[in-house]
Structure 1
Amino acid sequence: MDVDLVAAAHHRLGQLLEEHLLATDVWEIHLGQERKLHRHPSPEIEPRSYLGAPEHDALCWSREQLSAARTSSDRYGCGVSPLAGFDDWLHSALADQADKAGQSVDAYVAQAVAARLMDDVTRRHGDTGDLLARLTGAGIAVPGYVDAPDPVVADPERLRALHATGLLDAPREVAYDRIADMAATALATPGAAVTLVDRDRQFFVAMHGAAGDSPEERQTPLDRSVCQYAVATGEPLVVTDARIDPVLKDNPAVTDGTVVAYLGIPLIDAGQHAIGTLCVWDTHPRDWTSGHVNTLRDLAQLASNRIFSA
């Protein structure tokens, strides 16, 4: 995946790979970094074979080819190869922004492509798990996406139980909307929801005050989910101020001010699989009491009865 993401940027120079490399040092270009691989023998002695090439179509260059490539592209300030369609001004702007981000241009471009790829797959309800794992393995961080869910969240049996409910991407139901509304009213919070935690996203079966009805408007990437931690433990999650919580303080839903205080009760089936939560949250710190927890637990039981008896 790492080479695939930057292959387009190396297309013009890729023709050099067709030239025979005799006994010279072979180098791999990976996101603008060099790594000496091995001595390459004459093709008359042994067929051409590059370390890692069968799996990754590695771009390998002789020392002379590397020097020539740099000479042709240094004027763009873009590492090894220019981007097709970019003029000098665009290359200069690209190099400037990459420098401000503390990245090489190749790494900057690869991260941008990876982020777009993840967004497109998520929007089309594709499975981003393998994609994210490959990007992570290639050393490409994708802001806004967790690199690996908790093992409990990713457990195949739990996921089967989740999908068996038939509620993922299902139309909104008045019964669940009423439970979320009752939770918000009973605990005097601006937000409440019945949530389902999938492997790479969180889906809202119901949300107090939510305007959107389509499945696309009722989901978020898993990295915005606070509910995933209640699902992972199978226990109520009580958070007074997420901004100072060592686990939650960097969660995007916390950093953008959506969630400060949080209380969530996991929804657990007969097989002891937590598939989601009934949760409430506030934009200010809250000292939750045992009364709050018990009230939300009773309402969560109503949601569980409906989900698992259907």
Structure 2
Amino acid sequence: MMKHTLSVAFIAFSFFMASCQGSSDSDEPINRNLEETNLPPEDIEDVFASNYWDDAELVWSDEFDGTDLSQENWKLETGNHGWGNNELQNYLDEGNVEVSDGTLKIIAKKESLGGSNFTSARLNSKKEFKYGKLEIRAKIPDYKGKGIWPALWMLGNDISTAGWPACGEIDIMEYVSYSPNEVHFSLHSTANNHVKGTQITSGPVPLETIEEEFHIYGVLWTDRYIKFYIDTEDNVQLNFLRPTVPSAENWPFSKPFYFLMNIAVGGNWGGVEGVDESLFPAVMEVDYVRVYQK
């Protein structure tokens, strides 16, 4: 979650066109159109076909049944070094995660530990994936005040060698509590990232029930595009096509990625308007994480 500035703006490049901004009830997603679509050879399935994902099969999931977090599926990252964004929380390996009643709870708390005044959890999937229909059904913490930054996202599996942003980042869902009733979808690469102000982003997408109800945050990912949707595949909010001349700098999305789920406190984006300490504990619930592939 190597993140954003306060004002998330669309940057116009000479090599791509943008359509109008989408919303949760809009018919038109945001298009970052970098490639003309040509019909594939007859023996290759058309990833742009309307029925392309109809026969995708479930290949991996965590339904968060039982009372324990699966050690086979997840590992916890720890630390309070700011995570590149001047974040305030100390991520711990116990005390901030609960599995009960069919959901995973990630809990940010107001408590002083290890030099930080807040604790939280950051989960990484041990399994990595290349392409697919990816869905996370989740509910954002109830709105109580400003200062938290929950996210559901992915990083390229070569981050330890390539670093960020060269590894690539897919932000399946981001939310900052100083801006309630809105959700954000973004992509980051060496060519397009928030440090340069060139990230590929939906901007704020209205979602009036984001704090009150569970929603599906989904991604359709092929070697030709990455699409972000809410609840149903036809409710696309951001559509990014592979560049005409793809490279490691502008398309680091042809390799395996892994999932991350966390609640950050404060930070360069989440803490722009301060942190209301009365909002804690803040709980994000995750009903399931599912991966479908062709």
TM-score by length of 1: 0.22
More helix by share: 1
Q: Which has the higher contact order (CA 8 A, sep 6+)?
A: 2
More strand by share: 2
